[in-house]
């Protein structure tokens, strides 16, 4: 395997690791919301507003969204669109929404934790995807890969 293909394989593996970490972080936040919403909200300093239905719905929907991240971890080439959609709009929107809610509208600071997680995973995924595309383009045009 030449260095270009080896470099491409490394960046695809890095992307997979980032996405899997993101999925695990989502699940670490979601499952407690489903089974112990009061405890989870208190842990992050988020006031409970009424019923526990809404935090549990958020947990369930985030698990559902996370399942759409799995295909790209199995085959990034085949599910490339999933990789781009996981960055924008999914994680970028989630982070932006929560940052605006806290910083612009005064919601509890505990919402910054999932915002920072989404932003971090989005940036790391984007960084990996940019490298993957750059290397693929270099290989396709016969340029050297740095």
Higher pLDDT, 1 or 75: 75
Query: pTM for the full model?
Result: 0.94
pLDDT digits (tens, 9 = 90+) for 18-58: 999 999 999 999 999 999 999 999 999 999 999 999 999 99
Residue 1 pLDDT > 60, yes or no? no
- In angstroms, what CA-CA distances link 141 with 4, 92, 145? 12, 31, 11
- 22/69 Cα distance (integer angstroms): 9
Residue 96 has a CB neighbour count (10 Å cut-off) of 15
Give the pLDDT of residue 98. Answer: 98
Contact 50, 96 (CB under 8 A): no
**Has residue 119 got a pLDDT over 70?**
yes
Q: State how far the Cα of 25 lies from the Cα of 18, in Å rounded to an integer.
A: 11
pLDDT 10s digits, 52-102: 999 999 999 999 999 999 999 999 999 999 999 999 999 999 999 999 999
The Cα 121–Cα 62 span in angstroms is 15
Q: What is the pLDDT of residue 97?
A: 98
pLDDT at 146: 72
Taking only the tens place, the pLDDT of each residue in 7-19 is: 999 999 999 999 9
What pLDDT is recorded for position 75? 97
Q: Across residues 102-129, what is the average pLDDT?
A: 97
- pLDDT value of position 85: 97
Q: Is 94 exposed, middle or buried (0-12, 13-18, 19+ CB in 10 A)?
A: buried
């Amino acid at each position: 395997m030449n260095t270009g293909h080896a470099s491409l394989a490394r960046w695809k593996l890095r992307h997979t690791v980032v996405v899997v970490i993101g999925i695990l972080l989502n699940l670490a936040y979601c499952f407690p919301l489903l089974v112990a919403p009061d405890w989870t909200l208190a842990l992050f300093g988020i006031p409970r507003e009424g019923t526990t239905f809404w935090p549990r719905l958020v947990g369930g929907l985030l698990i559902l969204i996370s399942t759409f991240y799995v295909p790209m971890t199995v085959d990034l080439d085949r599910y490339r669109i999933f990789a781009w959609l996981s960055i924008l709009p999914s994680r970028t929107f989630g982070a932006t929404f929560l940052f605006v809610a806290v910083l612009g509208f005064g919601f509890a600071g505990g919402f910054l934790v999932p915002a920072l997680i989404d932003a971090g995973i989005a940036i790391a995924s984007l960084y990996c995807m940019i490298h993957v595309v750059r290397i693929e383009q270099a290989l396709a045009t016969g340029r050297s890969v740095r």
